Amino acid sequence: MFSNRVRFVLSLLVILAIMPIFGSATAVRAAGSTLTWSLEGINDLNSLDPTKATDAPVNTVLGLIYGGLVRLDGDLHVAPDLAESWKISDDGKTYTFKLRANAKFSDGSPITADDVKWSFTRALAPDASGGGLFRLGNIAGAEDLNSGKAKELTGLKVVDAQTVEITVNQPSAYFLDQLTYVIAKILSKKAAEANPQWADKPVSSGAFTIQEWHHNQDIVLVPNTNYWQPPTNITTLTLPFIQDSETAFQLYRTGKLDIMGSQQNGVPAAHVKEVEKDPDFRQSASFAVRYVAFNNKLAPFDNVKVRRAFAMAVDKKTLAEQVLAGTVSPTDRILPAGFPGSELPIKGLSFDPAAAKASLADAGVKAGDLKVKLTYGVEGDNERVVTVLQSMWKENLGVDVTLEPLELSTFSARLDETFQKPESGLQAYYSIWGADYPDPQNFISQQLRTGVNNNNSHYSNPEFDKLVDQADVMTGDIKARLELYNKAEQIAVDEVGWLPLYTPKLNVLVKPYVKGIVFNGQGLIIPDYSALQGKPS
């Protein structure tokens, strides 16, 4: 979710140029301000428990109310958060974090190493969802804890009240980046154990805490006066839930929103030309890719020739330039443009109706005999896109495809079911993956390696697995590491592990009085909450 759905920064890699902060952090602060920031694509938050996060809008809220050991700064580098410093052992397997002396929860209680251990243990527990093992499985003992073989997370040691030691199974260049994701946020052990319904109004470890959650309407946040950074200028932060991006756009235009747009949703394609010269408009290539995935455990997509046929029958250029009015960039690869590793070339499967029909025939499949259902979440321009895909597959392959729209949280749940029980899961689905953190591991091995939790399409190739296994543990030679991921990506493209369609452009609208937010391929990031300003009260 989109997720989450974080951080891709290898310090020696070139990433997208970061756009300037909205307003200067040194600007004169107003006496107080409010901020209304829409969350598009949802009717409500499914939970405020990080282990149950399902999508990018939920992650936005979680990032505001919870802190982690580390966070992303405005340049997408890993920076201290609740931990003021850390050390890494010479073998790259042990991380020692020192918590801030003034780290406190919103109820005034200190944030301790016991809270850190409890939070990580809970994120990796057998009954936890939210991708704990998927994102934190490299911590020693994580698999045993998740499988129920152990009750303790052996790889996390409480040294003293302010010191935590985390041991990983293998060195990884991306481990600190992973810790910036919402699954690694720190919760109050005391508050959660005292109230089984704690997630309805949790004690906060982040810059904001909850004033009111109006279900199916909005969530209202106020500053956490105990957060370690200097207090924010924002007195009230309201995040309305708006299913349709068109509705959010109109609300912004009538002055009812201060920020409209996020990583997965934003200004509708039909309105980009209308506002592209507006000083409020911001655009950046997204660290995300829209794609179609085929269930490799179900016919006809258990046949690579069928998958290739469907891939070559899609005219991505027409989809991007005409259907979506040039608001996206067509792509034949998995890594987004500007992402670490994307500078290495990939040979994609080009639009070729004749070759597509030949591949289908070579698979021994008759187009008229196929029964295909494409499932998608209801948000943004999804319906327009899948309708065009349906038309292209009919025109270029002669295949009738049925469309199945689902509410976003239901769609996410069905993806989980497809991973767990592929034989009764989705046959094909249209989705998006947005960077959890800025490292190719998050797109390549963490999505398409055999058996990995997010591999909902059940793609599997031994050579692919071998390449990513090597890349995942390589920390010294960045060039060699990226080349391994590149070779693996080429295999996945050839075999249609995913059918990548386009890289979205982040299109957001931000009022000129909003300051202290950085806009880049990762989305909207607040590096310093004390510099955040909204609409003057």
Instruction: Tell me the pLDDT band of 263, cut-offs 50, 70 and 90.
Output: low
Of the ranges 29-43, 54-68, 377-391, 469-483, which one carries the lowest mean pLDDT score? 29-43
Region 117-138 average pLDDT: 88
Domain-embedded: residue 261? no
Examine the pLDDT at 247 and tell me if it is beyond 50: yes
Domain-embedded: residue 85? no
**pLDDT given at position 27:** 38
**pLDDT given at position 489:** 98
The number of folded domains in the chain is 1
Instruction: Tell me the pLDDT band of 238, cut-offs 50, 70 and 90.
Output: very high
Region 2-20 average pLDDT: 34
pTM recorded for the entire structure: 0.79
Region 349-378 average pLDDT: 96
Domain-embedded: residue 64? no
Question: Which value, to the nearest 10 degrees, does the dihedral of the CA atoms of residues 13, 17, 23, 27 take?
Answer: 40
Domain-embedded: residue 401? yes
**pLDDT given at position 31:** 58
Region 495-524 average pLDDT: 92
Region 114-139 average pLDDT: 89
CA–CA dist 55, 412 (Å, integer): 8
Examine the pLDDT at 183 and tell me if it is beyond 80: yes
Of the ranges 20-29, 177-186, 409-418, 447-456, which one carries the lowest mean pLDDT score? 20-29
CA–CA dist 396, 416 (Å, integer): 31
Say if CB 7 and CB 180 are below 8 A apart. Answer: yes
Asked if the bond preceding 300 is cis, omega within 30° of 0, the reply is: yes
Task: Tell me the percentage of the chain whose pLDDT exceeds 70.
Answer: 93
530's tokens: 């004390």
**pLDDT given at position 454:** 87
Task: Calculate helix-pair angle for 382-397, 353-362, nearest 10 degrees.
Answer: 70
Region 352-378 average pLDDT: 96
Domain-embedded: residue 460? yes
CA–CA dist 23, 375 (Å, integer): 41
Domain-embedded: residue 464? yes
Instruction: Tell me the pLDDT band of 75, cut-offs 50, 70 and 90.
Output: confident
pLDDT of 265-316, one tens digit each? 788 878 888 998 999 999 888 899 999 999 999 999 999 999 999 999 999 9
**pLDDT given at position 11:** 32
pLDDT of 434-472, one tens digit each? 888 888 999 999 999 999 888 999 999 999 999 999 999
Residue among 363, 361, 368 nearest 305 (CA): 363
Instruction: Tell me the pLDDT band of 123, cut-offs 50, 70 and 90.
Output: very high
Instruction: Tell me the pLDDT band of 54, cut-offs 50, 70 and 90.
Output: confident
**pLDDT given at position 321:** 93
**pLDDT given at position 381:** 87
Backbone phi and psi for residue 290, each to the nearest 5 degrees, phi listed first: -90, 135
Residue among 364, 259, 375, 356 nearest 314 (CA): 356
**pLDDT given at position 17:** 34
Residues 398, 399, 403: CA angle, nearest 5 degrees: 140
Which residue range is the domain that position 479 belongs to?
288-505
CA–CA dist 168, 137 (Å, integer): 9
CA–CA dist 27, 38 (Å, integer): 25
Examine the pLDDT at 234 and tell me if it is beyond 70: yes
Of the ranges 4-8, 211-215, 240-244, which one carries the lowest mean pLDDT score? 4-8
pLDDT of 314-350, one tens digit each? 999 999 999 988 888 999 999 998 888 999 999 999 9
- The SS3 call for residue 8 is coil
Residue among 108, 2, 18 nearest 57 (CA): 2
Domain-embedded: residue 59? no
Region 190-208 average pLDDT: 95
**pLDDT given at position 134:** 81
Region 419-430 average pLDDT: 97
Q: How is residue 321 annotated by DSSP?
A: I
Q: How is residue 30 annotated by DSSP?
A: P
- For residue 139, CA distances in Å to 94, 183, 190, 474 come to 10, 13, 24, 17
DSSP conformation letters of 249-313 = HHHHHTTS-SEE--SS--S-HHHHHHHTTSTTEEEEE-SEEEEEEE-TTSTTTTSHHHHHHHHHT
Higher-confidence residue: 183 or 438? 183
User: Which CATH number is 377's domain given?
Assistant: 3.10.105.10
- The SS3 call for residue 198 is helix
